[in-house]
Amino acid sequence: MLLHIPEVLAASDVTRFRTLLDQAEWVDGRVTAGPQSARTKDNQQISEDNPAAKEIGGLILDALQSNAMFMSAALPLRVFPPLFNRYQGGQSFGTHVDNAIRQVAGTPHRIRTDLSATLFLTDPGDYEGGELIVEDTYGVQTIKLPAGHLVLYPGTSLHHVRPVTRGARVSSFFWIQSMVRDDGRRTMLFDMDMAIQRIAQESPSHPSVVQLTGVYHNLMRQWAEL
């Protein structure tokens, strides 16, 4: 499942975060790349231990926790602390697949990367190029979203970022270990949850609401890993 989640961050938050990020120290983005992706990665990142990155990352995690669509689609068990990257002056990231396991810096904790996420912090009109290209089950998808919007997609997907030929593309990126590792099952649960919510809004007393909610939770009992 590839999902566009709108307005994860308010415009005022994006502006404040960008001010802090623009003042931070940026380093070669290959510091977080594996051996395969390092050969095709050309961007800048902010160090994981940078105070501004940690502060903004925590606020992003708070925003995700309160976003009903994200919680329903990702069913998060663990979320990797958000990282930040910047592409400019022709920089790009060639086709790659994300590492299956990520170590959280400075801790003994690791997460399985069931889902990848990119949270855009630059409006599309402020730069040219920089599209995120994801090879999805249903073909090649091109993603370039407004600032504050997020795209969620399976960590198993091949993807790349096209060269940025004007301006700068700034984003946050991170990974999620889901309670339900299988993408097909997560998609089924998300579709069911959305349908239950629609029925509940249109006909709150309809008996199907309780019945379908029971089916949803029984499937979660079978599939969830905690």
Per-residue confidence (pLDDT) for residue 36, from 0 to 100: 65
Tell me the pLDDT tens digit for each residue of 46-83: 998 899 999 999 999 999 999 999 999 999 999 999 99
49 or 112, higher pLDDT:
112
Confidence bin at 33 (pLDDT 50/70/90): low
- In this predicted structure, the answer to whether residue 30 has a pLDDT above a threshold of 80 is no
Share of the chain above pLDDT 70, in %: 97
Per-residue confidence (pLDDT) for residue 100, from 0 to 100: 96
Per-residue confidence (pLDDT) for residue 80, from 0 to 100: 97
Per-residue confidence (pLDDT) for residue 63, from 0 to 100: 98
Per-residue confidence (pLDDT) for residue 32, from 0 to 100: 65
Q: Output helix, strand, coil percentages for the chain, rounded to the nearest 5.
A: 35, 35, 30
Per-residue confidence (pLDDT) for residue 28, from 0 to 100: 87
Confidence bin at 169 (pLDDT 50/70/90): very high
Confidence bin at 35 (pLDDT 50/70/90): low
Per-residue confidence (pLDDT) for residue 217, from 0 to 100: 98
Q: Which residues are registered as beta bridge partners of 118?
A: 151, 173
- In this predicted structure, the answer to whether residue 88 has a pLDDT above a threshold of 80 is yes
- In this predicted structure, the answer to whether residue 84 has a pLDDT above a threshold of 90 is yes
Per-residue confidence (pLDDT) for residue 38, from 0 to 100: 67
Per-residue confidence (pLDDT) for residue 37, from 0 to 100: 66
- CB-CB contact of 60 with 161 (8 Å): no
